[in-house]
A and B are shown apart, each in its own frame.
Chain A
Amino acid sequence: MARRLLIPIGPQHPALKEPMGLRFRVEGERVLETHIRMGYVHRGIEQACQERTYIQALYLIERVCGICSHIHTTTFCQGVEELLGVEVPRRALYIRTIVCELERIHSHLLWLGVIGRDAGFETLFMYTWRDRETALDILEEISGNRINYAVNTIGGVRIDLTPTQIEGILERLDYLEEQARYYLELVTSEPTFVARTKGVGYLSQEDGRALCVVGPTTRASGVDRDVRRDDPYAAYEEIPFQVVTATEGDALARTVVRVKEIAESVRMVRYALQNLPGGEVRTKVRRRVPPGEVISRVEAPRGELIYYIKGDGTERPARVKIRTPTMANLVAIPHMLRDAHIADIPIIVAAIDV
């Protein structure tokens, strides 16, 4: 029998993008058990929000996630707007949605590069990160920033789109759609990529549901769930789209779902731009928020993102609770790694898009 060993990786380790403590109990090349410890970069944002006004907290919330900043402010703003009882202009809701989907496009392209690199397909990383620049250029053009766009504010958005900008975005969307088609063909036909991902990190539909996994990770296991359709927010009720699912439940299926979602997002942005309502982009809101509690939910690139916000009639929130999709998906990692090969650890961990 092979020897049993305990392999610690992190919290500081060259292969990790952010600090995380992983301990693997292995026997030979097989993983028996995984233990995860987070907390090396816990910033106490929930607590810090309670010591700030709503608008100050917004700046902090823009920085919860380094990739999907806009989805967090969307969740927070729409929650506070519900507490305030204000109606946000339709044009603002459309612009919010457009930025949400552009963000999903660049987030998924970033991920596709990461999984490509982890699977030994460096060219895919080069290609997708080049194409991601197209989405980032659009975001920079309309907001002035590549990542923390600061588009949202309580009561609407801080930017408007000009007809020239819209035309320019539409042109580049065609390129992104074409590339999404190409990547779908590539990831399903490139023999080495398929060999590294097919059957790897399997999660059954039943386990996905029991572990309360979210987003593309669970949709790739056949769980047909998407907040944009099931609990529509912003302008999603008016924009046609398909929820992408797969049944294989492995790293390849997670890749296919995300690539198809890129194409779906491109079409949503196009539709929203072509059907952009006129009018104002924000309404003025009071600084004091009445007492009450709301649950605000969205579909972030990584899955369901949920905020609980409690107001007590002052200018500061009494409680802000944030549950990011990665927190929901982490619980599946030890499960997916059971009996896996050590060499597949990076792919399985990356496949939930940590």
Chain B
Amino acid sequence: MSAEALVRKLKKALGEHIGEAWVPRPHRAFFTVRREELHDVVEALVNRFDIKHLSTITGVDTGQEIELLYHFWDHDVCFTVKITLPRDEPRIKTLTDIVPGALLYEREVHELLGVEFEGHPDPSPLVLPEGWAEGHPLLKDWSPPEEG
């Protein structure tokens, strides 16, 4: 199925939940979702469309807000569900209950960008050194601690 066809199919089924949708090139599709609806949308992807493969979660600090991009792999299309979170309250419900493969990706985004994933079974540190206390290094206003 082409990226356009996939977007059409998902828009038809999940219409009101999907904001903008675009296909920048073959094999790629993007759509935006409101953050409160992410969990329901992904649940539909997994249960109704059998789209189970979450490739990863990218977190981007734009300076104004935090974008989370959930990249899914469905046959020959890599499509991305984009949500934005306010910088002062970056919280989102965990997807680990419906996509077990999200376990480590959420922990990584949590550490590097400070996003809270509500209901994550084990939000313990994963990638930063033990005893790290210098904040979240991928935030725009982060600067490395002074040496020495």
Contacts and interface: CB of A to CB of B under 8 A. Distances in A.
A321 B59 CA distance: 8
A331 B25 CA distance: 31
B103 A42 contact: no
Interface string A266-306: 00000000000000000000000000001101000000101
A207 to B, nearest CB: 8
Contacts of A46: 112, 138
A331 B101 contact: yes
Contact of B55 (A40, A82, A323): A323
Interface string A25-63: 000000000000111101010110000000000000000
Contacts of B103: 331
Main secondary structure of the interface of B (DSSP, over half): mixed
B73 interface: yes
A345 B137 CA distance: 34
A39 B71 contact: no
Nearest to A312: B62
A4 to B, nearest CB: 20
B46 to A, nearest CB: 9
A330 to B, nearest CB: 6
Contacts of B119: none
B137 A47 contact: yes
A152 to B, nearest CB: 21
Contacts of B56: 306, 321, 323, 327-328
Contacts of B112: 46
A209 interface: yes
A295 B53 contact: no
A212 interface: yes
A121 interface: no
A295 B104 contact: no
A230 B104 CA distance: 25
B104 A225 contact: no
A254 interface: no
B73 A304 contact: yes
A75 to B, nearest CB: 12
Contacts of A47: 137-138
B52 interface: yes
Given A39-B127, A42-B127, A328-B56, A230 B75 contact: yes
A194 to B, nearest CB: 30
A211 interface: yes
B13 interface: no
Contacts of A149: none
B37 to A, nearest CB: 22
A231 B53 contact: no
B21 interface: no
Contacts of B145: none
B71 A212 contact: no
B128 A39 contact: yes
Interface string B114-136: 00000000001111111000000
A295 B28 contact: yes
Interface string A200-219: 00000000011111000000
B89 interface: no
A338 interface: no
Nearest to B124: A37
B35 interface: no
B49 to A, nearest CB: 13
B83 interface: no
B80 interface: yes
B69 interface: yes
A234 to B, nearest CB: 14
B100 A225 contact: no
Given A46-B138, A323-B55, 15 more contacts: A38-B126, A44-B137, A210-B99, A211-B101, A212-B53, A212-B55, A212-B99, A230-B75, A295-B80, A306-B56, A318-B60, A319-B58, A323-B105, A331-B101, A331-B104
Interface of A: 37-40, 42, 44, 46-47, 82, 209-213, 225, 230-231, 294-295, 297, 304, 306, 308, 310, 318-319, 321, 323, 327-328, 330-331
18 contacts: A38-B127, A40-B129, A47-B137, A209-B52, A209-B53, A210-B52, A212-B99, A225-B73, A230-B75, A295-B28, A304-B55, A304-B73, A308-B69, A308-B71, A318-B60, A328-B55, A328-B101, A331-B103
Top-10 shortest CB links A-B: A212-B101, A323-B56, A321-B58, A308-B58, A39-B127, A230-B76, A231-B27, A42-B127, A211-B101, A306-B55
